[in-house]
A and B are shown apart, each in its own frame.
Chain A
Amino acid sequence: MTTKPRQRVEENNGAKRPISITAVVDCVGVLATGSVHGQLYLYDTNKAGGSTGFGTEELRTRVRRGDQLLWNVLALECEAYVSIDDIVVDREVCEPERRVYPGTDVAYWIATVKKDGITSVPYQIKFKVGTRTEAFTAPVSASLVG
C-alpha cells in the first residue's frame, strides 16, 4: 500500500474533475438474457481528450498518469437495481476502490492512473443486477488507452 500517501496528495491538489466513466445497464435485458452482452452502454467525460467507443461495451478511455477515474452506473429502468460489484484491471495501472457518496449508500468506484505510456489496458466491470446474488461480468472488455 505504498501508493496511498501519494494518491492522497494528488486528491488534495484536486487539479481537475476526474474522468467519469458511466455504465448504462439495461437491467431487464440482463435478467432476461442472463448476460450483460448487448445490454451495456459505456461513456466517459474525456471525449475531448480522445476517448472512443462511446455507447458501446468497448469504450476506450484515454488516460495519462495522475488522472483520476471514477466509475458509476445508471439503470435504464429507473426502478431497477444495478451496482458495480468489482472492476478487474491490472493493479500495476490502477487500483479501483469502492466508496460511497457522503451520507448515502450510493456507491462509486475511484482510482488514480499510476503509469504513463500504456498502450491498451483492458478491464472488466462486474455488475450486481436486480436481486441476483451472483455478479454479471461484462464479456467484452472496456480499456484504458495511453
Chain B
Amino acid sequence: MPQQLAIIVLVDVGNALESGTLDGNTYLFDNMKLQGSTNQGTGELVTAINGSYWLDGSQASEQVLNWLPYSLGSIPPTVPRGYTAERARQTDQQALADLDALSVKPPATDTEAAAELGRIKRTVGTRIKTTRRTRGRLSGQKILDVTGQVVTDENTGAHSYPAPVITDVFGAAVDEKIMYPAEYGSPDLVTDGWYWSATVDTSRPGTYAYSMRIQLHRLVQEGGEALWQPVNLTCQSDIKVTSAPRRNAFTKAGVGMLPIPPSPPRP
C-alpha cells in the first residue's frame, strides 16, 4: 500500500474572480517537502514523486496523490461538514423563536413592532436561489460572512465564498499515462465527501505538467434573487518523478535505502 500524499490547492477566490484568473491567486502545498518537492506555498509547486522498487529492480507500487481545494478568506474547512446548512437551520429556528415571542407579547407601538420585525428579518438573512444549475451542495443555503453570521445585505460584498471545487485533472501527465486521476466519494469530513485522487506510474522518471479545472462561485443577483454563479478557471502544476530508491523515514531508524534487505530466516 503506497503512502497517500496530499496536495492542498489554496485559492484566493475573491481576487481570482475579480481578476478572472487563477494565476497569482493559487497557492499549492504538498506534504512531500522532505521527499524533494519544491516551491511550497507558491503557484509553481513541483511535487516530488519518488519511485519505489523492490531489490530486483521491479516496481513495487504506485504513488497516490489526493487534491484538497481550500478557499483563502472564507469560513475555514475545519468547521464541521455541512456548516452552512447547519447555520441556515440555526438562524431559522432563532427567527421562529423570536416571532413566537413577538406574538405572545406584542410591542406597544407599531414602530416598535416594525423595528422588531426588521431585526428578525436580519436574523433570517438571505437564502440562495436554487436553479437546475446550482442545485446540490450550495442550494437552499444562506449567505454567510467570514465569521459565520448570516449576511442581510448581499450587495456589501461581505459574504464568504464557497470552497473551490476541482472538476477535472488533465494535461500532459494524464495524456502520457503517467497519472491516472479520477474523482472519488468518501465520508471525508474535510472535503465534503468528494475529492480528486490519482495513481502515478513511477516507472518513467521525468517532470510532467498537469492542469486542474477549478470551479469558483460568484454571488450574483438575478430577478431580485441571489444565486451562486459558477466560474470555471484552470491552473497548472508539475510532478517530478524520480527513480531514486526511497529512504527509510522511520524515526531513529537511520536513513538507509528502502526496501530493507530481507533478514536471514529465523532458526
Q: Which residues of A contact B (CB under 8 A)?
A: 14-20, 22, 24, 26, 28-29, 41, 43-45, 47-48, 54-56, 70, 72-74, 76-78, 99, 101-104, 106, 108, 110
Contacts and interface: CB of A to CB of B under 8 A. Distances in A.
Contact of B147 (A26, A45, A99): A99
Nearest to A75: B78
A17 B27 contact: no
30 contacts: A14-B151, A14-B156, A17-B145, A17-B146, A17-B157, A17-B159, A17-B160, A18-B146, A22-B72, A22-B73, A24-B27, A24-B29, A26-B31, A28-B31, A41-B29, A41-B41, A43-B10, A44-B73, A47-B24, A54-B27, A56-B41, A73-B76, A74-B78, A77-B31, A78-B6, A99-B147, A102-B148, A103-B86, A103-B90, A108-B76
B36 interface: no
B157 A110 contact: no
B27 to A, nearest CB: 6
B8 interface: yes
B87 interface: yes
B138 to A, nearest CB: 18
Contact of A101 (B27, B29, B75, B156): B75
B29 A102 contact: no
A14 B73 CA distance: 16
A49 B76 CA distance: 22
B183 interface: no
B12 interface: yes
Interface of B: 6, 8, 10, 12, 14-15, 18-19, 24-25, 27, 29, 31, 33, 40-42, 68, 70, 72-80, 83, 86-87, 90, 145-149, 151, 153, 156-160, 190
Contacts of A77: 6, 31
B14 A45 contact: yes
Contact of B76 (A14, A15, A43, A106): A106
B86 A45 contact: no
Given A18-B146, A43-B72, A110-B147, A26 B15 contact: no
A17 B80 contact: no
Nearest to A29: B33
Given A16-B158, A43-B27, A45-B14, A101 B73 contact: no
Given A17-B157, A106-B76, A41 B27 contact: yes
Contacts of B149: 102
B140 to A, nearest CB: 18
